[in-house]
């Protein structure tokens, strides 16, 4: 007995094609939604970690700063491994993460340049700066997924 004799999908005929296409479209929609979901989670966790990093740097306590930098390194490694294990990357997802990362780096550089030279003792500055560094990541996470996005 061959596979086609065992598999009744070969005997369904053209009248079932619309059902099969509908099932395939729903599966693709679920995969697309899931792939954008992990991108959003990744960006939001990064935003929260950035807030913690900047506030920790502003506390001006060497032990706390070293602990927070160590936690940042560990979280970065775990985030990178986790993102690679997701399996599906939405079309445009890497570009969105890349742009958010570039904007985050620019914000972080501005915060460090200003904070280290002028405001290092002001806790209010460091709290505002922490939120400032998270803005590009949160905005990138909250932008709706493109309607026609594919997964690759």
pLDDT in tens, 31-86: 555 568 888 998 999 999 999 999 988 887 888 888 988 999 998 898 888 877 76
Cα–Cα dist 106/52, whole Å: 17
Q: Which residues pair with 151 in a beta bridge?
A: 90
How far is residue 79 CA from its own chain's centroid?
Answer: 9
**pLDDT given for residue 138 in this prediction:** 97
| CA trace torsion 61, 67, 68, 73 (10° rounding) | 150
Selection from 66, 43, 60 nearest residue 125 by Cα: 60
Higher pLDDT, 125 or 3: 125
Q: From residue 133, how far is each of 45, 60, 97, 151 by CA, in Å?
A: 13, 18, 15, 29
Residues 83-119: tens digit of each pLDDT: 777 666 677 888 998 999 999 999 999 999 998 887 6
Q: Which two tokens stand for residue 145?
A: 């997924």
Whether the pLDDT of residue 142 is over 90: the answer is: yes
**pLDDT given for residue 107 in this prediction:** 96
Query: Is this structure's pTM higher than 0.85?
Result: no
Q: Which residues pair with 24 in a beta bridge?
A: none
């Amino acid at each position: 007995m061959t596979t086609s004799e065992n598999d009744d999908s070969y005997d369904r005929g053209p009248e079932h094609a619309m059902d099969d296409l509908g099932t395939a479209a729903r599966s693709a929609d679920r995969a697309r939604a899931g792939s954008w979901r992990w991108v959003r989670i990744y960006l939001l966790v990064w935003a929260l970690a950035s807030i913690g990093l900047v506030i920790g740097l502003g506390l001006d306590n060497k032990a706390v700063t070293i602990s927070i930098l160590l936690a940042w390194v560990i979280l970065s490694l775990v985030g990178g491994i986790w993102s690679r294990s997701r399996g599906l990357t939405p079309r445009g997802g890497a570009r969105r993460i890349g742009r958010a990362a570039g904007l985050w780096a620019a914000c972080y550089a501005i915060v460090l340049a200003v904070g280290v030279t002028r405001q290092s003792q002001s806790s209010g500055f460091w709290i505002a700066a922490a939120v400032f560094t998270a803005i590009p990541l949160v905005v990138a996470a909250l932008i709706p997924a493109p309607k026609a996005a594919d997964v690759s």
